[in-house]
Chain A
Amino acid sequence: MSDQLLAETIEIKGFGGDSIEAYFARPAGSGPYGSVVVIHHMPGYDEATKEITRRFAYHGYQALCPNLYSREAPGAAPDDAAATARARGGVPDNRLVGDVEGAAAFLRSQPASNSKVGVIGYCSGGRQAFLSACSIKDLDAAVVCYGAFIVSDPPPEMPSSVRSLLHLTPNSSCPILGLFGAEDKFPTPDEVARLDSELDKHSKEHDFHIFDGAGHGFFAVDRPSYRPEAANEGWQKIWAFYAKHLSS
Chain B
Amino acid sequence: MCTYVTEHVDVVGSGKGAIGWFNLNEASVYFDHPVHLAREHSLNIDFLQPKMGPSARVAVELDIRSARRLAEAIMRTLSQVPEELAE
Contacts and interface: CB of A to CB of B under 8 A. Distances in A.
Contact of B54 (A76, A216, A225): A76
| Chain B residues touching A, range | 20 to 34
A90 B54 contact: no
Contacts of B38: 223-224
Contacts, number: 81
In this complex, the member of A83, A123, A158, A162 whose beta carbon has the largest number of chain B beta carbons within 10 angstroms is: A83
Interface of A is mostly: loop
Nearest to A186: B1
A79 B59 contact: yes
| Chain A residues touching B, range | 35 or more
B28 A86 contact: yes
Interface of B is mostly: loop
B59 A123 contact: no
22 contacts: A41-B2, A43-B32, A43-B35, A72-B54, A77-B54, A77-B55, A79-B59, A80-B54, A83-B54, A87-B28, A87-B48, A123-B1, A124-B4, A146-B1, A148-B1, A158-B3, A158-B4, A185-B1, A215-B40, A217-B33, A223-B38, A224-B38
